[in-house]
Amino acid sequence: MRDEQTLNLQRNRAISIIEGDSQPKSARLVKTKGAQNVFDERAYDRAMKLSGFKGYVTNIPAAIMSAREVIGNYHDLWHVEQSFRMSKTDLDARPMFHRTRDAIEAHLTVVFTALGVARFMQDATGASLKKIITTLRPLREFTGVIGDQEITFAPDIPSAARELLDALPTSR
């Protein structure tokens, strides 16, 4: 239904362009015959027949991934998009302008590692990334040298931070 509504809006816009009521920028259903704009009835009919259908194009052979898996993975794409939105805001990611292949690959490795750790912590704790960052950001460890001895001072961990850290699985 939504596709048909969109097509009808495009049809109405095309007709208003043809009749001179609207300034043409570009219209899907308007074609030029000679010096005159006309409504492309054939394109409209074809689009109406295809309304409601959605196609997926992939270069993955059917033997490797079935059509159902392709569609399922496409539907999960929003997780990837959400991760990139998250990385730009919550992780304060900024554009980086690297010129060498090694620098680009290193930067991408750091970014994807940060996304992986962020996803892991969200799944393990059930907290949002914003909450995790604001809770854990103040924790700092300090290492100082007194004479010949190096001393490390652990931070005081508030109860909210302790709850988050306790929710993370640890390997022993």
The 3-class secondary structure across the chain, one letter per residue, is: CHHHHHHHHHHHHHHHHHCCCCCCCCCCCEEEECCEEEECHHHHHHHHHHCCCCCCCCCCCCCCCCHHHHHHHHHCHHHHHHHHHHHHHCCCCCCCCCCCHHHHHHHHHHHHHHHHHHHHHHHHHCCCHHHHHHHHCCCCCEEEEECCEEEEECCCCCHHHHHHHHHCCCCC
Overall average pLDDT of the 78-96 stretch? 67
pLDDT in tens, 106-150: 888 887 888 888 888 988 999 988 899 889 888 988 899 989 999
Least confident interval from 42-46, 98-102, 111-115: 111-115
pTM for this structure? 0.46
Mean of per-residue pLDDT scores for the chain = 84
